[in-house]
Amino acid sequence: MDIKDEWNEGVTHPLQSWEWGEFRAKRQPVSRIEGFLIVWTKVPYTPFTFGYIPMGRAPNEIEIEKIREEGRKMRAIGIRIEPNLKRGELTNFQFSIFNKFFKPGRHLFKPKTLLLDLTKSEEELLANMHPKGRYNIKVAQRYGVKAHEDSSSSKAFDVYLKLMFEGTAKRQKIYAHSGDYHRQMWNVLRPAGIAHLFTAKYKDRIIALAMIFKFKETAYYAYGASALEHKEVMAPTLLLWEAIRWSKQSGCTVFDLWGAEGGKGFSRFKEQFGGQPVKLAGTFDLPVDLLLYLLFRAAEAARWKILRIFK
């Protein structure tokens, strides 16, 4: 077993995979400490950094001290951790450790997600969908929309980038990573068999795409992009249904719709697939320099208030 396989054996989420670390290392410093991938972001206009451990396990006291020591080496103000655990899965002992070392943090990952049980038959999955979802799939089929995996086509990925920034991000008024970010991610995760691209075509034109991450026995709806035109053919619904079917056929037992937020358009779209709502354990901050951390959190709160005002 090589170092990549050994690392991946011990983690449970693609954002802690060896390959995700390789991708992020192209953009910013990363550390691998005690089985935790830490991504370091420079705090603007300062010599300091802030760490992030996305979707890792719950660290014990010895691991926390080693993580904090790495933070000191990286001149970190603090380290934010969002464990890959459901609400209530932290044991009483783990919870006491978190209370001792951590402070509540501002979430980066969505605090709730929707999970589909892929051990069910396709008929059961369809029956559990919202009636509107089943109807939209039939609408797309009547219009002749065709959806399938297309991970080997450079053209498909170029269309994905185009629709991501000209369609989805603009329409939903959401923050989107740069095209360079997506391309670097794709170039690392696709050869590793983690990232897969699905396309939906209408009249031989790609009008919707979905990027699915497959890691161990779980598939994740990582990103979606669609054109502003031809909304009436309901291509995104058929597209995601075909991605769910592919994930089941590929041996996955869970499909994670990756984030939900009440009232948001992207959440309403996901909810039609009938996933089980799940709250995650939460967001926790490990201060490295307590005074600087308190100043950082005050500045962070002020920044988000300003962004909401000018949204």
Which tens digit of pLDDT belongs to each residue from 164-175?
A: 987 554 554 555
- Specify the CATH superfamily of domain 112-278: Gcn5-related N-acetyltransferase (GNAT) (3.40.630.30)
Q: Is the pLDDT of residue 122 over 50?
A: yes
β-partners of residue 254 are 117, 218
Locate the domains of the chain by residue range.
3-109+280-309, 112-278
The structure tokens listed for 17 are 């995979």
Measuring CA to CA, how many Å separate 50 from each of 10, 19, 305? 24, 21, 20
Nearest by Cα to 200 from 246, 132, 144, 152: 144
Which tens digit of pLDDT belongs to each residue from 100-115?
A: 999 999 888 889 999 9
Which tens digit of pLDDT belongs to each residue from 60-81?
A: 999 999 999 999 999 999 999 9
**Percent over 70 (pLDDT), the chain:** 93
Please, which pLDDT band fits residue 306 given cuts at 50, 70 and 90? low
Q: Is the pLDDT of residue 209 over 60?
A: yes
Taking the chain, what is the end-to-end CA distance rounded to the nearest angstrom? 49
Which residue has tokens 């948001």? 264
Nearest by Cα to 237 from 108, 141, 156, 161: 141
Do the domains 3-109+280-309 and 112-278 sit in the same CATH topology, yes or no? yes
The structure tokens listed for 301 are 């709160």
Residue 188 sits at φ, ψ, to 5 deg, of -95, -45
Q: What is the pLDDT of residue 12?
A: 96
3-state secondary structure 39-76: EEEECCCCCCEEEEEECCCCCCHHHHHHHHHHHHHCCE
Determine the average pLDDT of the residues in 27-55.
Answer: 97
Please, which pLDDT band fits residue 40 given cuts at 50, 70 and 90? very high
Query: What is the DSSP code (8-state) at residue 86?
Result: B
Average pLDDT of the chain, as a whole number: 92
Determine the average pLDDT of the residues in 266-290.
Answer: 93
Assign domain 3-109+280-309 one CATH number from 3.40.630.30, 1.10.10.60, 3.60.10.10, 3.40.50.1240: 3.40.630.30
Other residues' Cβ atoms within 10 Å of the Cβ of residue 221: 26
Whole-number Å distance between alpha carbons of 293 and 142: 56
Whole-number Å distance between alpha carbons of 81 and 86: 14
**Angular region, 289: left φ>0, alpha ψ -120 to 50, beta rest:** beta
Whole-number Å distance between alpha carbons of 242 and 146: 9
Measuring CA to CA, how many Å separate 54 from each of 88, 116, 240? 18, 21, 25
Q: Is the pLDDT of residue 310 over 50?
A: no
